[in-house]
């Protein structure tokens, strides 16, 4: 493979979504043209004002009058100053969405398909030839990058495939307009570009910039509805994640300082392969402080304690496909940065430092998530706390650090992304169907919307780690690796399993309450619209639980790239 195709494969995953965002941004949002309305006006016969003659107008007449002040037909959504919709008669929950094609919305599938295509081509090449680089080493694809690229592309395909049906439901309910849907598409494409750049860059400084860019873009997506609750969640997200990213920036600066003191050239002091090669010469004290700040900083974006408080609010208020992207891949992309720094820390300080740090954070996060799941009454917040639970399991596997543990952690990232994207997209459709996110007010989903309720139930079953799904295999691998790693980690794994059982019971009980029981009305068929991406996600998650197939070599190489040798 020569240099030009390699550069295209490494550049396209970030460049194509960025170009798509620019295309959406430059496409004008056309307002509907005013249409005259024919109305019948009753007017009594009277005497002319000046001539005294009878008014020639008949008793009734038909006149052409302009539409409302917005120049739109009665009952049609008008643009509010903030981009929302006004004057739209709200549909009852579960009312059918008017049919119609949305080519602009479906065009958003191009970016996920390009990401998957580039990831697939790189997956064929990288395990055999080793890492590929482009643009003077700024972009680099090793097995970990390729694995994460495939996860990003798969989850993005599910979220973008569910987007048109979700946005159609929001517009039908009067909660969105053409302008808000247009803004949504711009931000989602920019979000994908930032995550892909974070995955394929070899420079830790560019990695920090890309993760910070995801914060800026997703803040507007969290506040998409512009309600008081969503705006509050967006500000909370910005403040907490900015504090975390500031810690990560300080840690990156300290690693840069340690590299310069070790004699690494200025232009390569943040290059990840160079830092790994020279890690033994880094100052231990500076490296220890820098890695701690990096773990806390990027851990904030990954939903780990102590800077985790933004996650349930942001995931519950963001549009459902955005919640799928944030929970399914954004958390994992942020944690992949921790995986990169862990390799440097283990080479400079030994494996004991990151083992204690990550195991402690994992157990604290898992305990907090399990406790909050027991008291949760909102199904979208329930899924958000489930994300914290799964990220803590990935952190625990990383603390163990054996080849089996790291392979299980990477498999868990993929399985969690697929299952959680299906769960969040289904939860968004349930919210549109029932008009509430309160678990206590939702009953009989399997009777009211059999397909939608079945998809949601299967997605939660996958998250609970039932057999045949990928998370069953990954959790079993994490448990085996933890018990084989020594006494301290064996006790930590046992405590984690008890907390996982607590979370299992809470999730199962609340999901059963939503799915079972008498249906409040007749079964509806419109809820089937837009479910094909969710079925695809569940099928892929089940396939990962059965066998990794052609991805086996890539999975082993990715575990080896982050120290699982």
Model confidence at 555, in pLDDT bands (50, 70, 90)?
very high
Question: pLDDT at position 59, please?
Answer: 42
Q: Judge whether residue 99 has pLDDT over 60.
A: no
pLDDT > 50? residue 343: yes
Residue 95: the pLDDT is 43
Instruction: Give the residue-averaged pLDDT of 157-185.
Output: 87
Q: What is the 3-state secondary structure (H, E, C) of 52-70?
A: CCECCCCCEEEEEECCCCC
The predicted pLDDT at position 66 comes to: 40
Angle at 23 between CA 21 and CA 25, to 5 degrees: 70
Mean pLDDT of all residues belonging to the chain: 85
Q: Is the pLDDT of residue 73 over 60?
A: no
Reduced to 3 states (helix: H, G, I; strand: E, B; else coil), residue 141 is strand
Model confidence pLDDT, tens digit, residues 407-430? 999 999 999 999 999 999 999 999
Instruction: Tell whether pTM > 0.75.
Output: yes
Answer whether 270's CB lies under 8 Å from 259's CB. yes
Confidence class for position 16, pLDDT limits 50, 70, 90: very high
- Tell whether the model's pLDDT for residue 44 goes beyond 60: no
C-alpha to C-alpha distance for 433 and 519, rounded to whole angstroms: 13
Instruction: Tally helices (H) and strands (E) across the chain.
Output: 21, 6
Residues 497-524 have pLDDT tens digits of: 999 999 999 999 999 999 998 877 666 6
| pLDDT at res. 47 | 42
Residue 39 has pLDDT above 60, yes or no: no
Chain centroid offset of residue 122 CA: 23
273-306 pLDDT per residue, tens: 999 999 999 999 999 999 999 999 999 999 999 9
**Could you tell me if residue 286 is left (phi over 0), alpha (psi between -120 and 50 degrees) or otherwise beta?**
alpha
Check whether 37 has a pLDDT greater than 80: no
Tens-place pLDDT, residues 249-266:
999 999 999 999 999 999
Would the pLDDT of 394 be above 60? yes
pLDDT recorded at residue 526? 55
pLDDT band at 65 (very low <50, low <70, confident <90, very high): very low
The confidence score (pLDDT) of residue 524 equals: 65
| Residue 528, pLDDT score | 66
Q: What is the C-alpha separation between 238 and 310, in angstroms, rounded?
A: 8
The pLDDT of residue 70 is 35
Of the ranges 23-27, 339-343, 434-438, which is most confident?
A: 339-343
Q: What is the percentage of the chain residues whose pLDDT exceeds 90?
A: 69
* DSSP, res 132: E
- The mean pLDDT of 178-183, rounded to a whole number, is 86
Report the alpha-carbon angle 388-425-366, nearest 5.
10
* 228-236: average pLDDT: 92
* CB-count exposure of residue 497 (10 Å: 0-12, 13-18, 19+): middle
Q: Tens of pLDDT along 458-479?
A: 999 999 999 989 999 999 999 9
Q: Does residue 364 register a pLDDT over 70?
A: yes
Is 249 or 92 the better-scoring residue by pLDDT?
A: 249
User: What pLDDT, on the 0 to 100 scale, is given for residue 542?
Assistant: 93
pLDDT of residue 62: 37
| Mean pLDDT on 10-14 | 95
Q: Which of 204-208, 324-328, 385-389, 530-534 has the lowest mean pLDDT?
A: 530-534
pLDDT at 29: 65
- Cα(215)–Cα(307) distance, rounded to whole angstroms? 14
Is a pLDDT exceeding 50 seen at residue 372?
yes
Helix (H, G, I), strand (E, B) or coil at 557: helix
Share above pLDDT 70 across residues of the chain, in percent, rounded to a whole number = 84
Q: For residue 30, what pLDDT band results from cuts at 50, 70 and 90?
A: low
pLDDT at position 546:
87
Burial per residue of 523-549, b for 16 or more beta-carbon CB atoms within 10 angstroms, e otherwise: ebebbebbbebbebbbebbbbbbeebe
Per-residue pLDDT tens digits for 522-549: 666 655 667 889 999 999 999 998 888 8
Q: Rg of the chain's alpha carbons, rounded to an integer?
A: 27
> Could you tell me the pLDDT band of residue 180, with boundaries at 50, 70 and 90?
confident
pLDDT at site 80: 39
**Cα–Cα nearest to 156, from 411, 409, 383, 330:** 330
Q: For CA atoms 309, 312, 313, 318, give the dihedral sign.
A: positive
| Distance in angstroms (rounded) separating the CA atoms of residues 132 and 141 | 5
Average the pLDDT over 46-65 and give the result.
41
């Amino acid at each position: 493979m020569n240099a030009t195709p390699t550069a295209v494969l490494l550049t396209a995953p970030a460049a194509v979504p960025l170009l798509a965002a620019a295309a959406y941004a430059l496409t004008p949002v056309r307002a509907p043209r005013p249409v005259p309305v024919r109305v019948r006006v009753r007017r009594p016969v009277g005497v002319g004002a000046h001539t005294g003659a009878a008014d020639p107008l008949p008793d009734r007449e038909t006149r052409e009058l302009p539409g409302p002040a917005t120049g739109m037909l009665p009952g049609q959504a008008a643009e509010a100053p903030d981009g929302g919709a006004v004057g739209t008669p709200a549909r009852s929950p579960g009312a059918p969405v008017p049919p119609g094609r949305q080519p602009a919305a479906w065009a958003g599938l191009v970016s996920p398909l390009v990401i998957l295509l580039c990831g697939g081509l790189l997956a064929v090449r990288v395990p055999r030839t080793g890492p590929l680089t482009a643009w003077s080493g700024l972009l680099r694809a090793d097995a970990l990058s390729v694995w994460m690229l495939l996860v990003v592309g798969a989850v993005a395909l599910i979220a973008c495939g569910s987007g048109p049906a979700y946005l159609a439901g929001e517009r039908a309910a009067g909660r969105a307009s053409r302008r808000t849907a247009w803004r949504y598409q711009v931000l989602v494409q920019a979000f994908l570009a930032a995550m892909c750049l974070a995955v394929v860059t070899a420079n830790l400084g560019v990695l920090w910039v890309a993760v910070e860019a995801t914060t800026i873009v997703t803040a507007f997506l969290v506040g998409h509805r512009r309600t008081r609750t969503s705006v509050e969640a967006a500000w909370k997200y910005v403040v907490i994640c900015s504090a975390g990213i500031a810690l990560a920036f300080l840690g990156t600066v300290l690693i840069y300082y340690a590299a310069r003191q070790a004699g690494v050239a200025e232009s390569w002091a943040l290059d990840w392969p160079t830092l790994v090669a020279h890690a033994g010469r880094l100052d231990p004290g500076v490296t220890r402080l820098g890695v701690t700040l990096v773990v806390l900083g990027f851990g904030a974006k990954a939903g780990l304690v102590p800077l985790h408080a933004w996650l349930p609010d942001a995931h519950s208020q963001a549009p459902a496909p955005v919640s799928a992207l944030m929970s399914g891949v954004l958390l994992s992309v942020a944690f992949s940065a921790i995986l990169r720094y862990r390799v440097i820390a283990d080479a400079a300080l030994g494996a004991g430092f990151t083992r204690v740090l990550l195991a402690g954070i994992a157990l604290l996060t898992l305990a907090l998530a399990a406790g909050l799941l027991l008291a949760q009454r909102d199904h979208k917040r329930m899924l958000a706390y489930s994300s914290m639970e799964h990220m803590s399991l990935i952190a625990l596997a990383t603390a163990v650090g054996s080849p089996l543990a790291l392979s299980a952690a990477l498999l868990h990232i993929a399985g969690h992304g697929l299952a959680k994207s299906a769960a969040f997209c289904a939860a968004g459709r349930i919210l549109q169907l029932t008009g509430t996110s309160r678990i206590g007010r939702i009953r009989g989903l399997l009777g009211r919307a059999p397909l939608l309720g079945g998809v949601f139930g299967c997605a939660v079953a996958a998250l609970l780690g039932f057999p045949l799904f990928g998370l069953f295999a990954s959790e079993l691998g994490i448990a085996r690796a933890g018990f084989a790693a020594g006494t301290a980690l064996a006790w930590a794994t046992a405590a984690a399993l008890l907390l996982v059982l607590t979370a299992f019971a809470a999730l199962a009980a609340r999901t059963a309450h939503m799915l079972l029981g008498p249906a409040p009305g007749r079964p509806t068929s419109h809820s089937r619209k837009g479910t094909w991406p969710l079925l695809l996600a569940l099928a892929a998650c089940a396939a990962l639980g059965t066998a990794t197939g052609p991805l086996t070599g890539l999975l082993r190489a990715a575990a080896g790239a982050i120290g699982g040798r």
